[in-house]
Amino acid sequence: MLIAANWKMYKGPRETREFLDRFEPPDGVDVVICPPYTSLRVAVESGRAVYAQNVHWETEGAYTGEVSAAMLVELGVWGSIVGHSERRQYFGETDETTARRAEAALAAGLGVIACVGETEQEREAGDTEEVLRRQVGVLPEHDGLVIAYEPVWAIGTGKTATAGLCQESHAFIKTLVDTRVLYGGSVKPDNAAELLSQPDVDGALVGGASLDVDSLTAICRAAIRS
C-alpha cells in the first residue's frame, strides 16, 4: 500500500519539521510526503520519501515560478505529483501539459503520481470512462508511474466515492495501464479502511486529513489492515 500526503499550500519549513519529527508510520506501508516547494528541503532532510506537488517539463529556461525535474533531483526529492485537479481547475493544466510534466519527471529518474478523474457533471452524464480513457491515454508507460484516481467532485468537498464506485473506476483504469492506482478524494481515518480494502485500490492520495499527524497515522494503519 502507498499513502501519499498532499499538503497543498500548507506547512512551511518549521511546521514540516515539527510534523515529521512526530510522524512515525507503521511498518508495512509506503508513505510519501508532498509538501510545498519551500518545505521540500526540510522534508528531504527528515529521511522520508518526498515528492513535489508539481514539476515543469523543461530542464531550465524563462518559466517564472516553475521548477524543473533536474532541480528536484538535485534537492533529493523522489518524485512529483502531476495533473492534480486543482492545477487543472485554477492554473489551466490540461491532459497534454500533464503528460509533458510526467514524461520529463520520469526521464529524469523521478517517480510520478499522475492524477485523473471526472467532474460531477461528467459522471452524471455517464462520461466517466471516456474521461478516464482520455486522461490516462496520454500518459507515458513507465515503471515509475502511479495513477491517482480523484473524482473532482470529491476533492475537498467532504464527499467521497462509495467503495463500489471507487473499485469500479480503479478496475477500469487498470484495463488501460498496468500500474498502481491510488484513490484520492476526502480520504479520512473513518473511511480509509473500507476504501483501501477494495481489490484494485493500491493506496491513497490524502489531502486535508494528512495535515494532522494522528490522522495520517490512522490512515496508514488502516492501509495495513486492508
Name the residues annotated as catalytic. Answer: 84, 150
Give dist(CA 174, CA 200) in Å, integer: 8
9 grid coordinates = 499550500
For 167, other C-beta atoms within 10 Å of its C-beta total: 18
Strands 111-116 and 79-82, bridge-based pairing: parallel
HEC string for 120-189: HHHHHCCCHHHHHHHHHHCCCCCCCEEEEECCHHHCCCCCCCCHHHHHHHHHHHHHHCCCCEEEECCCCH
Quick check: 152 and 93 in contact, CB under 8 A? no
